[in-house]
């Protein structure tokens, strides 16, 4: 079985104070998060790239075994729509270099807009621009991207298919890269992410995750239902359902 690392999409939510982080204490939320989960997906890079020094601080503030995934900026996916984005891609790679140099980056998520249809020529050209050593997962949000030709391109460039639980597309367990990438968005209305997974829903994911991990490739999974701290609660519940071991750097559980 491949390693299974579960975390949440982001860590710095004000509403997590109390449910996830201690109230009435000025703490480093990333440090505290790293004592709860072994990996995090940085979703803030989608909206605005931080400075290199800030990214470097993420490395210093977390244990050496802690891992990161980061989202490609929306300037590449939603504004440039994968065309003429070489400058934006270079800047993204420059900013995340502290993570790559430290061996802490396990995935870069390319989340595509629902309005973008699959175009093989455009997609091939963009995939060719991605450095081969960058571990990339691609999240589809439009049905044309699930075509055999699209999936073959993922396999050709060894990019991971992002398995998603969300309202737009059905759950599909494709393994196209050197790792698997899973995101739980939720099924809330009008906001997907305003959702709490039930124990029964989480239990249905146990065989799926084990299937993804059965060939020895690692699986990285992230809960994105951040309202009320539900992502952290559901991630912890699912970690326990899968009976995953706690990393050595984490404090012993007291409950």
Taking only the tens place, the pLDDT of each residue in 5-60 is 999 999 999 999 999 999 888 899 999 999 999 999 999 999 999 999 999 999 99
Taking only the tens place, the pLDDT of each residue in 162-207 is 999 999 899 999 999 999 999 999 999 899 999 999 999 999 999 9
Q: How many H-runs (helices) and E-runs (strands) does the chain carry? A: 10, 8
Burial class (CB in 10 A: 0-12, 13-18, 19+), 59: middle
What are the residue ranges spanned by the domains of the chain? 4-241
Better-predicted residue by pLDDT, 26 or 220 = 220
Domain 4-241 bears CATH identifier 3.20.20.410:
yes
Separation of alpha carbons 146 and 139, rounded Å = 10
Does residue 226 register a pLDDT over 80?
yes
Average pLDDT, integer, range 215-229: 96
State pTM to two decimals: 0.96
């Amino acid at each position: 079985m491949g390693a299974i690392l579960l975390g949440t999409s982001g860590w710095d939510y004000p509403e997590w104070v109390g449910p996830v982080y201690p109230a009435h204490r000025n703490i480093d939320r990333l440090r505290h998060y790293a004592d709860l989960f072994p990996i995090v997906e940085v979703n803030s890079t989608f909206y605005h790239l931080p400075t290199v020094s800030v990214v470097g601080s993420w490395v210093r503030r977390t244990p050496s075994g802690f891992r990161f995934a980061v989202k490609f900026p929306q300037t590449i996916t939603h504004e440039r729509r994968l065309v003429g984005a070489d400058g934006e891609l270079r800047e993204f790679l420059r900013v995340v270099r502290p993570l790559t140099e430290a061996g802490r980056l396990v995935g870069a998520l390319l989340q595509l807009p629902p309005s973008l249809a699959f175009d093989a020529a455009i997609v091939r050209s963009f995939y060719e621009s991605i450095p081969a050593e960058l571990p990339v997962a691609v999240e589809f949000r439009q049905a044309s991207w699930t075509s055999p030709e699209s999936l073959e391109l993922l396999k050709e460039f060894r990019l991971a298919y992002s398995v998603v639980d969300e309202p737009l597309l059905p759950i599909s367990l494709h393994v196209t890269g050197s790792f698997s990438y899973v995101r739980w968005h939720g099924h809330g209305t009008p906001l997907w992410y305003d959702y709490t997974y039930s124990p029964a829903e989480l239990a249905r994911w146990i065989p799926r995750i084990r299937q993804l991990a059965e060939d020895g490739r690692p699986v990285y999974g992230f809960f994105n239902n951040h309202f009320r701290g539900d992502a952290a609660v559901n991630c912890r519940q699912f970690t326990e359902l899968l009976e995953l071991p706690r990393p050595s750097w984490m404090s012993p559980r007291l409950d």
